[in-house]
Structure 1
Amino acid sequence: MNQKELAQHIIQKYQEDEKIMVLLFIQWCQDQNLDPEKLYKEAYPAQPANSFLKQLMDDQVSTDMDIDAGTLIQVMQTFGNDDLAHVIAKYAER
């Protein structure tokens, strides 16, 4: 595998993992009767709406998994979404 192929593979893997992260977030929000877009906006008020989040919500993809807040928070932090992890923790305490 040459450098270009390796770089493309890494990018593709990151995008796949990012999709899983967003799907877990959506599923957790649905399980808690929360609006994922509202929580995202609370975490990142200066950013525009997340089109990827909206797309996956519109696709109505369900993971059929029971996701606990602690795991979701760790996943968010792994991807550098610390502000969203903080908002999730706040709502999980309720």
Structure 2
Amino acid sequence: MNQKEKEQYILDNYKKDENTMILVFSQWCVNNDLDPRELYKQAYPDQGKNQQLGEAFELTIPKNESDEIPVQTVLDVLQLFENDHLAFVVAEEYEKKLKE
């Protein structure tokens, strides 16, 4: 494998992992009756529509068919990809749910 192939392999794996992170976030939102696009907008109000988020949302399943996703898992995955603002919004929403 030459250098260019290695770089492409690393990039492809990063994108795959990033898509998994987005899907975990989206499914957690669905499981908690939240709109992932709205939470994303709260975290990043200056960014436009996120195409990857829309694609991941299309892959989510109804919450009654999904396993529970612990909030800590979502927070860890988001922070791993340096989505600290989004992790903060998720934590806030989770705290609101606990108070209901």
Give the match for residue 70 of structure 2.
Answer: 68
Q: TM-score, normalised by structure 2?
A: 0.87
- % identity of equivalent residues: 43
Equivalent position amino acid for 1:16 in 2: K
Q: Distance in 2 between matches of 1:37 and 1:16?
A: 20
RMSD of aligned residue pairs (Cα, Å): 1.4
What is the CA distance between 1:49 and its match in structure 2? 1.2
Runs of 4+ in 1 over 2 A off after TM superposition: 59-65
Task: Provide Cα deviations, 1:37-73, integer angstroms capped at 9, x if missing partner.
Answer: 000000000110111111222x333393321111110
**Alignment partners' CA distance in 2, 1:61 and 1:34:** 13
2:80 pairs with one of 61, 78, 81? 78
Give the TM-score normalised by the residue count of structure 1.
0.92
Question: Which segments of 5 or more consecutive residues in structure 1 lack a partner in the other structure?
Answer: none
Structure with a larger share of its residues in helix: 2
Give the secondary-structure state (helix, strand or coil) at the position aligned to 1:80: coil
Superposed counterparts of 1:12-31, under 5 Å:
12-31=12-31
Q: Which residue of 2 aligns with 1:51?
A: 51
